[in-house]
Amino acid sequence: MPLTLQTCATADAAGAALSSDAAARYLGGGTLIVRHANEGDVSFSRYVRSTDPSLSAITVEGGRVTLGASVTMGRILADKRLHCLADAAHAVGGPAIRNMATVGGNLYAPAPYGDLGVALLALDATVAIGGKTLPLEDFLRDRDTVHARSVLTAVSFALPADGALRFLKVSRVKPKGVSVVTIAALLDERNGTIDSARIAYGCMADRPVRAPAVEAALAGRPRTADGIGDALAVASDGMEPVTDAIASAWYRAEVLPVHLGRLLLA
């Protein structure tokens, strides 16, 4: 089946084109969607993309970062103001993928992908989509239903204190294998005690998810082996890890507390 490409000057026009044609798909960097087409996915016959400059913008103002959806992992890595996201951006594929892979595409990518999304979820990011701003967590919940035919235009978050965001991607193939489990932790600490924590996982569901049981078990505890013990005991509570060629759901749940402990104590 022939594939057509429609280029729209504005994100709004791209959104309208997407919502009016069930056979249209938004084209970000194309690292996943073009692969689907090459592998014979005939559920779509039209790519829609947008050259709207706002989609490629990076702004850092008043302690808040806004990334247009078309910003690539490579551009995040090249921008020193975004060093809090460097580990997560670097975790996405190899250099060729990072040169193409966009922020917007990463938030739509199913597990075992979505490494940047895990860090953004821990950062309590918001997304701009369909003219509205909503918490990333809400977007992710409704991503494949309510937001399946919209254009995500930007993601925004408050810059964390230096070192407050911890990120770990565990993979079996070095240096650029896909994730067994990805963990991001935003810790607010005072005098060695964790005041509050936001913990996000990749591969513990089909998309990035928070770990509320772990967050509750960490609050008010010292960041020591004893202090985080209760949190590790509930590390996989409420999770539905994915099974794929890399690891089974059982394996992912088994190794999660080990890696969470390492990340928290590092």
* Distance spanning both ends of the chain, measured CA to CA: 52
Q: Applying CB under 6 A, which part among 2-10, 25-33, 217-225, 234-242 lies near ligand FAD?
A: 25-33
Cβ-contact 215, 187 below 8 angstroms: no
What three-state secondary structure class fits 159? coil
Q: Which of residues 150-169 bind ligand FAD (CB under 6 A)?
A: 151-152
Beta bridge partners of 50: 8
Cβ-contact 48, 19 below 8 angstroms: no
How many residues at the interface with ligand FAD, by CB under 6 A?
29
What three-state secondary structure class fits 158? strand
C-alpha torsion sign, points 208, 212, 213, 214:
positive
- Provide the minimum distance between the beta carbon of 28 and ligand FAD in the complex, in angstroms, as a whole number: 3
Of 27 and 218, which has the nearer Cβ to ligand FAD? 27
Q: Which of residues 68-107 bind ligand FAD (CB under 6 A)?
A: 69, 91-93, 97, 100-102, 104-106
What three-state secondary structure class fits 125? coil
Of 58, 77, 67, 29, nearest to 155 by C-alpha is 67
Of 72 and 231, which has the nearer Cβ to ligand FAD? 72
Of 43 and 191, which has the nearer Cβ to ligand FAD? 43
Quick check: 8 binds ligand FAD (CB under 6 A)? no
Of 57 and 219, which has the nearer Cβ to ligand FAD? 57
**Which positions lie near ligand FAD, rule CB under 6 A?**
25-33, 35, 69, 91-93, 97, 100-102, 104-106, 108-109, 113-115, 151-152, 178
